[in-house]
């Protein structure tokens, strides 16, 4: 039996679906790593002193579109259709941004680290759980 031929392996890797299969299986791992990072670090307030949080950016986009498209003088059906268009637009924009990040990070060997960081920022499970707990405690005091 001959030794391992790395050149042949890389040629097969590039010319097959093996790379796609590996990347697809890595996605859940990246998600779990992002959740673990969020659990360890929590809300990264220091980062958002320099950069706006993605949720803030989306909120500003929605607010802008609401002011432009949802004026009171328009009829209910017109406003409903415009609201649906805004929902579709925001969803497609977020999906395009996610796809762009995916394409950019896959081209760099350390790109997975950026994806893990983005998952931790966007999911923000630890800070969200804290806020929900605070609201629950506040509501419990009013019983």
Q: Identify the band that residue 90 occupies on the pLDDT scale cut at 50, 70 and 90.
A: very high
Lowest mean pLDDT among 13-27, 73-87, 92-106, 125-139: 13-27
As a whole number of angstroms, the distance between CA 2 and CA 97 comes to 46
**Could you read off the pLDDT of 2-16 as tens digits, one per residue?**
566 667 656 655 655
Tokens representing residue 46 in the block: 């220091």
User: How many CB atoms lie under 10 A from the CB of residue 113?
Assistant: 14
- Position 18 pLDDT exceeds 80: no
pLDDT in tens, 49-66: 888 888 889 999 999 999
Q: Where are the alpha helices (DSSP H) in the chain?
A: 6-14, 18-41, 54-69, 76-106, 111-123, 125-141
Asked if residues 70 and 79 have their Cβ atoms less than 8 Å apart, the reply is yes
């Amino acid at each position: 039996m001959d030794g391992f031929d790395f050149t042949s392996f890389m040629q097969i890797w590039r010319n097959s679906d093996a790379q796609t299969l590996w990347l697809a299986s890595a996605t859940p791992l990246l998600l779990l790593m992002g959740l673990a990072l969020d659990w360890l670090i929590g809300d990264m307030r220091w980062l958002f002193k320099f950069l706006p949080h993605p949720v803030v950016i989306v909120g500003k986009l929605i607010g802008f579109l609401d002011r432009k498209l949802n004026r009171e003088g328009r009829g209910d059906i017109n406003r409903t259709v415009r609201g649906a268009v805004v929902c579709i637009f925001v969803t497609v924009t977020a999906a395009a941004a996610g796809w762009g990040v995916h394409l950019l990070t896959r081209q760099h060997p350390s790109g997975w680290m950026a994806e893990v960081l983005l998952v931790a920022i966007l999911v923000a499970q630890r800070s969200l759980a804290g806020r929900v707990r605070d609201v629950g405690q506040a509501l419990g005091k009013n019983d």
